[in-house]
Structure 1
C-alpha cells in the first residue's frame, strides 16, 4: 500500500501550525493562573523603608532587615528568599508578615539576622548603619538586624568589646558585665559593660551621659568616645572641648545611634491604615485636655493654649490650670482622658528638631485620644509617627483656625475616627540601645576608622536646630533672609 506523497513544504507548515497552537494554549493557561493569583501593586512612595532605599551606589546593594545584603543578579528574582530579603524584592512582591516572620525586636518576633554579606566589587559590608551612609530614616532597624560578616570568627576568639560608662552605672540602670546583652538576646552579644574609670585606656568605647568629664588616662588611637544627650539642646551641657567625640546617641535621627523616646514600626509597611470596629468618639462629652506643670516653657505653649481656650473648651490640669489630678493617681487621670476627652495637647517644652517625647507617645498615642502636637518640626512628626495619628499646630495659621477644625471633628464622628485607623498596623518597638552599640563596635567600617565631630556644639545646637516660635514663622524668617 502506497502512502500519499506529502511535500516538505506542507510538512513544515503543519508542524508550524501545531507549534503555534500549543503555544497559544499554554499562554492562555498561564494568563488564567496569573489572574487568579495576581498581587496588588503598591506605589513605592507610599512608604519609606530604609532597606528599600535606592540612593546607594550602583555597585552596592542596600541593607536588609535580616542583616544580609543582596548580591544576586536580577535573573534570580523569580525565587523568593525564605528570609524575606526586603531589599531584593519590591513591596508588591511581599506577603503581609506573620508573627513568625517578624524580626526579633517585635513582640513575639522570632526572625534573627544572619551575618551581613560583603559587596563583591568593594568588599565592604552591605549595610547602612551610619548617618553618612544614608539620610533616610533613623537606621534603628538596620542596626538591630546587623551582624558583622566575620562574626562567627569573632565568637570563636572569645574576645569581648568593653563599653565604659564614665558617669557610672546608676544613670543607666544597668549592671556591669554581659547581663544586658545576654538577657536581651542581642544578635551581637560579645560585649561587656564596665564602670571602672581606672581601666579607661583599655575600653573600646567610653560613653558619657549628658556631661563630659575628660578622662585622666591617655586615649587610645582606636578608642571611640560617645556622647549621649537625653534632653534637648536648651537643657544640656555646652561641651568646650573640640575634636573629642566620634559618635553621638540622642533622639535626633542624624545621631550615630538614635535613641528616641519611642520608635513606631509597621508590621507591614504597605499597610498603614485599617478600618476600626470602635467609635473613639462615643460618649466623650469634653473636648481638649492638657496635663502640664511647667508654666514657663520658652516656646510659648501656655500662651497658645490660653488663646485656644477663647475658641474651644480646653481643660488644663496641673500647676498651670484650674483642674487637678494627682501624679500619684496618674492612671486614673489617663482614664479620664480616654473616657471624657476627644483631644489632648501633647505640647513639648521646646521646639527643637526631632524632639518628640513621652508627652506624645505615652500620654496620647497609647490612649484613645487624638493628640494636638507642638515641639518638633512637622516633618519630624510625620517620620516618627503612625500615619494620620495627630494634628500639628503648624498646619493652622492661628489657634482660632485650629479650634475651628477641632469643632468640625467634634461634630463629625466619622472624620474624627479617621485619625485612629493606624491602630493595629504596628507597634512601638524596643530599640535595644545596648544591642545596637555592641553590634556597631564589631563593625569594621565604623570602628577601625571612626569619624569625629570637630565641634559637637555646632551639630547639636547650631542654627536651625531649635526655635522659640513656630516652625512656620521660623521658615518665613529664613526665607525672607535668603531673599535679601
Structure 2
C-alpha cells in the first residue's frame, strides 16, 4: 500500500503541535501554569484591589493577602481570638508606613482614590493617610515646601507656624509649612479658611487651592454668597475633599466586625434610659421625642431640660453612671443633617458601656461611620412607642442586649491626622494640574437633601435652602 506524501512544511507544523501538546501536558500536571506568581509586597493600592482601603492592600502570592470580596456578613470570633497583625501607622502603636504610590501601568494617573470624584462612596481617609506621591524622594531632595496659609490666624487651629505639626505627627508626607502671614497670600499653595470666608483681595495663581473648613452643621455656619471661590472642602461630611469627622472608627480587619465578649453589659443595671442635655430648643424636635418616649419607658433627663441635675464640673462622674446604672443612652444631635454625627454619639455613648439610641444623621450615615451593630436609630421605628416596646424586649433579654457590644475589641477610634492628609493632598500632581471648583459651595453645603427638621423616615428634599436663622 502506498503511503500518502507528506510535505516538509506539514511535517514541521505537526512536529510543533506535538511538542506544544507535550509541554502543556507536563505543565498542567505540575500546575506550573496555574500557580500565581509571587510579586513584591507593597502597601499601596494595586490595580486588582482598587476598591479596598490602602491600609489593607496586598498582592497576589503574599501570605498577608486578604481573600474574598469587601462586602461580607459580619463574622463573630471567640473571645480574644483575634489579634491584629502589623498595624498601619495611624493606629495606636502602629508601625506600618506607606511606600511611594505607583501609577497605573501605561498611564500617568495615580492609583490612590483621594478625592470625591475618585470614590464617592467612602470618606477616603485611609487612602489619604496612606498616600505618598510616586516622586516623593525627589521632592525631599529638592527641599521644596508646600505653604499653607491659615487666613483666620493660628489661634483658631491651636497650632504653631512652621513644620512642627507635620514632624511631630510623623506624617508620611511632611514637606509642608504653616503660616498666618497674609503677605504670603499670593504665593501660598493653599489658603485655608476656618468657619468664615474673608476675601483676600489679590489675584490668585491658577494652581492655588482655596479650602473652607466647617466644624458645625449648615444651620450654624456662615452663608457664603461669593461663587467660584473654593476648590476643596473640609467638613464632617463624607463627600468633602478632606473629610474631618468628629471621630473615625477603623477595624483592625474589615472581615472581623464582631468578637464574643466575656462581660455581661446588663449586669446590675436597674435603670432604663438616660440623657444629658442642655439645649432645649433644638430644631429637630429631639426634646419632644424624648418626652413622648417617657410615656412608655423610664427616661431620666439630666440638665437644663430635665428634672435631674449633674454638674458639668463633674462630667466624668456623671457619665460613670451610664456604665453602672443605665442600659440605654439618648445620643440625640441638635440637628438632623447628612453625616452629622458628633461626640454625643462617639464619646458620650460608645466610650461607655451603654447602648446608644441615636437621632441626627441619616440611618445610612450611621451605618457607614459607626461600628457594626453598636446603636439603635430612632428611624428604625414608626414611633417612640414602638421604640419603647423594643427597648423593653432588650431589657428582658440579656443575650440580645449584649449582642450590641460585640463590636468592642475589633478596632479603634483613630487619629485622622488632618494636617498630614492636607499636606499629602497638596503633593498630588493630578489634583493640582486641573483644580476643581465649587461653583456654589452653598448649594453643596446646605442645598436640598442635606438637612431636615423632621424624621428621615418621611423625608423629602426641601425645595428651599437652609437659611442662617
Paired residues for 1:175-254 under 5 Å: 175-254=160-239
Q: CA deviation at 1:202?
A: 1.0
2:255 to 245, 265, 270: 270
Q: Does 1:80 align with 2:62?
A: yes
Q: Does 1:366 align with 2:348?
A: no
2:240 to 249, 252, 255: 255
Counterparts of 1:179 and 1:406 in 2: how far apart (Å)?
Answer: 49
CA gap of 1:121–1:373, structure 2 versus 1, over 3 A, is same
Counterparts of 2:151 and 2:176 in 1: how far apart (Å)?
Answer: 16
Give secondary structure in 2 for the equivalent of 1:189.
coil
1:427 to 405, 409, 412: 412
Q: CA deviation at 1:69?
A: 8.0
Counterparts of 1:250 and 1:362 in 2: how far apart (Å)?
Answer: 19
Q: Normalising by structure 2, report the TM-score.
A: 0.84
Give secondary structure in 2 for the equivalent of 1:337.
helix
2:434 to 449, 466, 473: 449
The match for 1:344 is: 329
Runs of 4+ in 1 over 4 A off after TM superposition: 63-70, 88-92, 96-100, 475-478
Counterparts of 1:51 and 1:308 in 2: how far apart (Å)?
Answer: 48
Contact kept in structure 1, 2:327 and 2:354, CA below 8 Å: yes
Q: Normalising by structure 1, report the TM-score.
A: 0.82
Q: Does 1:388 align with 2:369?
A: no
Give secondary structure in 2 for the equivalent of 1:226.
strand
Q: CA deviation at 1:448?
A: 2.1
The match for 2:284 is: 299
The match for 2:452 is: 467
Counterparts of 2:427 and 2:253 in 1: how far apart (Å)?
Answer: 29
Give secondary structure in 2 for the equivalent of 1:437.
helix
Counterparts of 2:343 and 2:414 in 1: how far apart (Å)?
Answer: 14
CA gap of 1:67–1:449, structure 2 versus 1, over 3 A, is farther
The match for 1:354 is: 339
Counterparts of 2:53 and 2:346 in 1: how far apart (Å)?
Answer: 24
Give secondary structure in 1 for the equivalent of 2:330.
strand
Contact kept in structure 2, 1:100 and 1:111, CA below 8 Å: no
Q: CA deviation at 1:218?
A: 2.2
Contact kept in structure 2, 1:69 and 1:118, CA below 8 Å: no
Q: CA deviation at 1:64?
A: 6.2
Contact kept in structure 2, 1:68 and 1:114, CA below 8 Å: no
Counterparts of 2:460 and 2:205 in 1: how far apart (Å)?
Answer: 44
Q: CA deviation at 1:121?
A: 2.3
Once the two structures are superposed, what CA deviation does each residue of 1:50-98 show, in whole Å capped at 9, x if it has no partner?
979xxxxxx786276558988x8xxxx3x217xx576x98579xxx996
Once the two structures are superposed, what CA deviation does each residue of 1:218-266 show, in whole Å capped at 9, x if it has no partner?
2111100000000000000010100000000000000000000000000
Greater mean alpha carbon deviation, residues 209-218 or residues 251-260: 209-218
Counterparts of 1:149 and 1:69 in 2: how far apart (Å)?
Answer: 17
Counterparts of 1:125 and 1:203 in 2: how far apart (Å)?
Answer: 24
CA gap of 1:160–1:477, structure 2 versus 1, over 3 A, is closer
The match for 1:62 is: 50
CA gap of 1:476–1:253, structure 2 versus 1, over 3 A, is closer
Counterparts of 2:208 and 2:200 in 1: how far apart (Å)?
Answer: 12
Contact kept in structure 2, 1:67 and 1:146, CA below 8 Å: no
CA gap of 1:310–1:399, structure 2 versus 1, over 3 A, is same
CA gap of 1:97–1:225, structure 2 versus 1, over 3 A, is farther
Q: CA deviation at 1:122?
A: 1.8
Counterparts of 1:98 and 1:205 in 2: how far apart (Å)?
Answer: 41
Higher helix fraction (1 or 2): 1
Counterparts of 1:396 and 1:476 in 2: how far apart (Å)?
Answer: 21
CA gap of 1:422–1:335, structure 2 versus 1, over 3 A, is same
Once the two structures are superposed, what CA deviation does each residue of 1:451-470 show, in whole Å capped at 9, x if it has no partner?
00000000000000000000
Counterparts of 1:284 and 1:68 in 2: how far apart (Å)?
Answer: 39
Structure 1: stretches of 5+ with no match in the other structure: 1-19, 28-49, 53-58, 479-484
Counterparts of 1:408 and 1:97 in 2: how far apart (Å)?
Answer: 31
Contact kept in structure 1, 2:449 and 2:461, CA below 8 Å: no
Q: CA deviation at 1:136?
A: 2.1
Contact kept in structure 2, 1:61 and 1:126, CA below 8 Å: no
Counterparts of 1:63 and 1:447 in 2: how far apart (Å)?
Answer: 23
The match for 2:143 is: 158
The match for 2:467 is: none
CA gap of 1:179–1:449, structure 2 versus 1, over 3 A, is same
The match for 1:143 is: 128
